[in-house]
């Protein structure tokens, strides 16, 4: 077993082995013989394997004892072989595009003596269909299938010191990219030009491929959540929503800022004041040991006092960390939202998004990516949380 860091993987082998042991402990507690891991973020977390085609179904067969086995498209075996000298999960079976992935998986499980086993399966996986699950269970009538959704995600909630370093680098990339968007803003420029400036700067700053492209929209069109560029020209008095995530070793940190070309309207200024009130209440009041619900209430009450409670229609924050397309957050791992009684811990990362939506006007949000620490909050961007007026 390797003990040295290799540049091919984002962490040393010792960190991966510690993660593996934690998962196997949880497997023993549940009486599971093997896990069939198909959530890309989860097998990346355990092995360091990543591909730009993560939407193609693949499995990491992760037994309680013995070596794991990849079941993947033949083309993706090139990535397994390239990482094999450095990655602890080395073996794999390539499936031709003309072959049945589930049938090959079933055959492999039989060869591993797991046809009567207690198998953990990720029912919430985006790329594992109901039809494929039904096919697999029909092929294994003597096996017991147990939903392990959340098992690996639970271990991903609190980031290690090395993970936090990756988050800080991603935050720096995102910060410079948003600055580039603001620098490119001028009368008559297209929203697509701002997006291009942001993407270009993120890549030049050392950013990796992002799990989701930026959101850039102007004027009242910004009211449409997650709208993006359409080549529209930006005029004076219009606001611009700019949101982008910097990515480093698949760790993502997003930032949402609002630009204004010229003096914004009084309504926009009031919306901005409400967003800032929610943000600063959260930065000052959210602490480790609070429940998710309590932390959300801190932000929500501040916005309600500004008269915009009905316009704050989202959760206060969503989790950050490993992200693979089609998203850049970790909502499946942790969120800060109403009625959620999970407890915040030091080392958790979030994107605090006090977004205010007013139909006919637009959306305003000054966000903050952050780390929960033992004593408070660490910000993951040096950009001031304010409306940027040019």
Q: What is the pLDDT of residues 172-190, one digit of tens each?
A: 999 999 999 999 999 999 9
The confidence score (pLDDT) of residue 8 equals 86
pTM of the model: 0.95
Q: What is the pLDDT of residues 359-377, one digit of tens each?
A: 999 999 999 999 999 999 9
The confidence score (pLDDT) of residue 1 equals 41
Whether the CB-CB separation of 380 and 253 falls below 8 Å is answered with yes
The confidence score (pLDDT) of residue 7 equals 63
Confidence check: pLDDT of 342 > 90: yes
Q: What is the pLDDT of residues 20-54, one digit of tens each?
A: 999 999 999 999 999 999 999 999 999 999 999 98
Distance CA 267, CA 240 (A): 15
Distance CA 117, CA 143 (A): 5
Q: What is the pLDDT of residues 135-166, one digit of tens each?
A: 999 999 999 999 999 999 999 999 999 999 99
Q: How does the average pLDDT of the chain come out, rounded?
A: 96
Query: Residue 320 — very low, low, confident or very high, per pLDDT cuts 50/70/90?
Result: very high
Buried b (16+ CB within 10 A) or exposed e, 69-108: bbbbbeebbebbeebeebbbbbebbbbeeeeebbebbbeb
Distance CA 334, CA 160 (A): 16
Distance CA 174, CA 244 (A): 7
Q: What is the pLDDT of residues 200-217, one digit of tens each?
A: 999 999 999 999 999 999
């Amino acid at each position: 077993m390797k003990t040295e860091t290799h540049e091919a993987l984002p962490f040393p082998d010792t960190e991966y082995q510690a993660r593996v042991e934690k998962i196997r402990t949880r497997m023993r507690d549940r009486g599971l013989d093997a896990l069939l891991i198909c959530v890309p973020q989860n097998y990346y977390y355990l092995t360091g394997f990543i591909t730009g085609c993560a939407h193609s179904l693949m499995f990491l067969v992760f037994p309680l004892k013995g070596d794991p086995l990849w079941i993947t498209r033949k083309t993706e075996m090139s990535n397994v072989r390239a990482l094999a000298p450095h990655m602890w999960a080395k073996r794999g079976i390539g499936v031709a595009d003309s072959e049945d992935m589930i049938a090959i998986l079933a055959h492999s499980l039989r060869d591993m003596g797991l046809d009567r086993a207690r198998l953990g399966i990720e029912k919430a996986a985006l790329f594992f269909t109901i039809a494929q699950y039904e096919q697999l269970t029909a092929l294994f009538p003597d096996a017991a299938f147990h939903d392990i959704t959340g098992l690996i995600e639970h271990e991903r909630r609190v980031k290690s010191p090395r993970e936090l370093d990756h988050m800080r680098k991603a935050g720096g990339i995102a910060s410079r990219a948003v600055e580039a968007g603001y620098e490119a803003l001028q009368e008559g420029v297209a929203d697509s030009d701002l997006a291009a400036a942001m993407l270009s700067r993120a890549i030049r700053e050392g950013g990796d491929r992002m799990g989701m492209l930026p959101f850039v929209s102007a004027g009242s069109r910004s009211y449409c959540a997650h709208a993006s560029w359409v080549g529209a020209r930006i005029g004076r008095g219009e606001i611009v929503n700019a949101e982008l995530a910097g990515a480093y070793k698949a760790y993502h940190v997003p930032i949402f800022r609002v630009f204004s070309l010229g003096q914004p309207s009084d309504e926009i200024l009031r919306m901005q004041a409400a967003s800032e009130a929610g943000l600063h209440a959260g930065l000052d009041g959210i602490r480790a040991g609070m429940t998710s619900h309590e932390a959300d209430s801190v932000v929500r009450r501040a916005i309600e006092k500004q008269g915009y409670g009905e316009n704050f229609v989202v959760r206060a924050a969503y989790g950050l960390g490993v992200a693979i397309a089609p998203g850049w957050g970790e909502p499946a791992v942790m969120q800060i939202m109403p009625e959620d009684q999970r407890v915040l811990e030091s080392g958790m990362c979030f994107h605090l998004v006090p977004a205010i939506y007013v139909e006919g006007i637009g959306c305003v949000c000054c966000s903050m990516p952050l780390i929960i620490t033992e004593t408070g909050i660490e910000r993951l961007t040096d950009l001031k949380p304010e409306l940027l007026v040019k």
